Structure formats: structure tokens, C-alpha cells
Amino acid sequence: MVSESDVNRDESWMARAIDEARRAEGDTSPNPLVGCVITRGGELEATGYHRRPGDDHAEIDALDNLEGSPGGCELYVNLEPCSHYGRTPPCVEALIEAGVERVVVGCIDPHPRVDGDGVDALREAGIQVDVGVLEDEARRLNRPYIKYITRDVPWVSVKYAMSLDGNIATRTGDSAWISNEASRQRVHEMRDRCDAILVGTGTVRSDDPRLTARIEGGDDPLRVILDARLEGSLDETVYRPDGQGADTLVVTSEDAPSEARATLHDRGVETIDVPTDSRGFLAWQPLLEALADREIVRLFVEGGGTVVGTLLDDEHIDCVHAFVAPKLIGGEDAPGPVRGLGAETMDEAVEAQNVELESIEGDVLVTATFDHRSESSD
């Protein structure tokens, strides 16, 4: 019988492994976030985490940081150890060879080349394995990876800044700035943790954004621009060869003129075609699948109300980051953050399962997630 003190101890060490995994947030795509803790006799011996694709996995990193023999140790890892060759050898073989006594796993890895095989291999080798310690927390940490693996589309986060009366700009279109400087800095941190930023051509034309993560030592995500017909001037920053160094991908349709395509290609800007839907918008499902094919796991949407509204209508929003500024804009023609068809009744409104509030120097950041959309096929 497992005592309450044993459960508390396991949960404490698993929480530490999850904290280790978070150290690489934004750096591991398309791999998951994984941290590892090694203990002996209830005392911490070593920690490790996976830093980026091609680097050692968390278990190997922790073993390398261990002083002395791993024999008889207990190992805590938030995601099931891999049992197959990928960019690195399988961790299961290393754990068996090391002679660890017990492995505690947060959650099973849904990757079809793992999915319980790692746990089975450890048990067949005589190692005690316990699964499901802080399972909800472990799954929450890797929600983007889980959706990417199980549904072949990215995790979609939407960001917007709005006033207290729900407007994202004035009636003349002026939106600089609704949120404060600290909130805008937070957005750059969010960009640094995603794989791609997506906006519509309306945002590009009205704001001429750089769409880069201005974080020291950070990485700029891929810039994805929706422009079904390439009707603009293509003079904006994201289309220029010197466009701040980040790569740009323009998503268009077969109706886009060949001359505009050639102009973009000459500047080193790639284009891809996706079908349009019955409304004339680029269809989200094939678009998201195309991004997943490029190993885009975390997609950060900063588009206007039309882009966000069609995402909502098609049930593709996993997370919303709403920066609410203590300002009143007013005006019947001032735009809101979400358009589209929307719900006909309140019963059809989409309700978040998880909501967090954070004060940022007067602004309030509301983060809401929709788990039933991201993990419905697990």
C-alpha cells in the first residue's frame, strides 16, 4: 500500500521535473518539453532537461549530471521515456543499462512510436515504473505537442489588446497603443516562445508590423501572412528582403496573380496555396495542416477581428491572451477583437475551461484555454 507521504514525495519530485522542463520553453519544437530528476534515498542527486532538437533528452542530461553510479536510483520524468531512434538514441536503453531502480512518469507520450512502449520496455527489464503522477500538470505543460502529435495541426494561441469597452482601435483605426509598454514587452516574450506568428493582410497593410521577437538572445519565429489574392502593394516590411531578418511565408490561393508571386519569390519570400472556403476565406484546416508539415507546433495569431472570428467559427482556437487596458474608446464603428459569424445564442458561446488573470502595470492579461478543443482525440 502506497502511503500518503510517498505520494507527496513523488508529486514533489515530479513538480521539480516539470519546472526543469519549462526551462526550455520555446526552444524544443517539434519535440516536447521534458525535465528529469534523479533521487537516491529521498535525496536529490541530479536534474536535467531537453534543450533543443538534436540535444540529449532530459533523462540522458540528468544521468550525465549525476555524480556516482545511477544504480538503485529513482528517476522522475514528466513524459514517458522514448523507445525509438530519432535524432538521438532511445532513452529507455540508457535507463536499463544504467540500472535505475524505479522510473516515475507524469504522462504517456502519445507519439505513435512511443505510446506506452517505453513504459513496457522498462517493466520488461525489471524496472519498477509508476505512471500518472501529476498527470494533469504534465499534460498541460505539453498541450501544444499533444495536439500536434494527435491531430496533425498546431496549437493555436490568439493575442489581442483591447480597451475596457472591448475595442481594439478607435473608429479611425488608430491602435497605437492600447496596451502599455510592459504588456507589449510580454508579447515579445510570447513571440519568442512560438514557432510562427500569423496575421492577415489587413494587419500588414494598416500597421506594417515587423512581427519579430525583440528579445536579447531570442529567436524570431516564422512570419505567416494570409493574403488570398496578393492584391496589396507588397511594399511592407515583412515582404522586403531586409525585413528584420525573419523568414516570411505568404499563404495564398490559386487565384493569386503570377506577377505578384514572382515578385515575392525574387525577394526570397515563399508562397503556398491553400483552398478557399465557402466564404472566400483561406480554409483553416488545410492551412494548419500545411504549417504542421513544417513542424510548426505553436502558432501565435495576432490578426484582426476577421482572422480571429473565422478561427473561432471553425473551432481552431486553443488559447486566448487578451490584454485589457484601463481605457474607454467608444464609438459605434470602433472595431472589436473577434468578428466572424459568431454564436446565435449564449448557449453556443465558447466557454474556457481554464482562466488566469495577471496584472501588468495597470493592464490585465486574461489567459483562457480550451482543453476540449486541443485534446479531444487523445
Q: What pLDDT was estimated at residue 375?
A: 47
Helix 58-65 and helix 91-98, axial crossing angle in degrees, nearest 10: 30
Q: What pLDDT was estimated at residue 88?
A: 66
Structural domain boundaries enclosing 105: 4-141
Q: What pLDDT was estimated at residue 87?
A: 66
Shared domain for 349 and 246, answered yes or no, is: yes
CATH of the domain at 197: 3.40.430.10
Dihedral sign for Cα 336, 337, 340, 344, please: negative
Taking residue 139's Cβ as centre, other Cβ atoms within 10 Å add up to 21
Q: How far is CA 73 from the centre of its chain?
A: 33
In the predicted model, residues of the chain with pLDDT beneath 50 are 373-378
Q: What pLDDT was estimated at residue 205?
A: 86
Cβ pair 251, 274 in contact under 8 A = yes
Q: What pLDDT was estimated at residue 231?
A: 81
Residue 305 grid cell? 477581428
Q: What pLDDT was estimated at residue 378?
A: 41
**What is the C-alpha separation between 296 and 148, in angstroms, rounded?**
8
**What is the C-alpha separation between 15 and 133, in angstroms, rounded?**
9
Dihedral sign for Cα 135, 98, 111, 270, please: positive
Total number of domains constituting the chain: 2
Shared domain for 157 and 129, answered yes or no, is: no
Q: What pLDDT was estimated at residue 2?
A: 58
Shared domain for 131 and 154, answered yes or no, is: no
The neighbouring-strand residues paired with 366 are 322, 357
Shared domain for 215 and 73, answered yes or no, is: no
**Catalytic residue at 59?**
yes
Shared domain for 203 and 131, answered yes or no, is: no
Catalytic residue among 20, 45, 59, 302: 59
Shared domain for 114 and 183, answered yes or no, is: no
Shared domain for 16 and 135, answered yes or no, is: yes
**What is the C-alpha separation between 128 and 131, in angstroms, rounded?**
10
HEC letters along the chain: CCCHHHHHHHHHHHHHHHHHHHCCCCCCCCCCCCEEEEEECCEEEEEEECCCCCCCCHHHHHHHHCCCCCCCCEEEEEECCCCCCCCCCCHHHHHHHHCCCEEEEEECCCCCCCCCHHHHHHHHCCCEEEECCCHHHHHHHCHHHHHHHHHCCCEEEEEEEECCCCCCCCCCCCCCCCCCHHHHHHHHHHHHCCCEEEEEHHHHHHHCCCCCCCCCCCCCCEEEEECCCCCCCCCCHHHCCCCCCCCEEEEECCCCCHHHHHHHHHCCCEEEECCECCCCCECHHHHHHHHHHCCCCEEEECCCHHHHHHHHHCCCCCEEEEEECCCCCCCCCCCCCCCCCCCCCHHHCCCCCEEEEEEEECEEEEEEECHHHHCCCC
Shared domain for 40 and 129, answered yes or no, is: yes
Shared domain for 292 and 180, answered yes or no, is: yes
C-alpha distances (whole Å) from 168 to each of 209, 213, 228, 301, 316 are 16, 21, 24, 15, 21
Q: Which of 108, 141, 174 finishes a domain?
A: 141
Residue 307 grid cell? 482572422
Q: Which of 94, 111, 141 finishes a domain?
A: 141
**What is the C-alpha separation between 369 and 102, in angstroms, rounded?**
34
Shared domain for 247 and 114, answered yes or no, is: no
Cβ pair 205, 232 in contact under 8 A = yes
Shared domain for 176 and 291, answered yes or no, is: yes
Shared domain for 175 and 302, answered yes or no, is: yes
Helix 58-65 and helix 4-22, axial crossing angle in degrees, nearest 10: 100
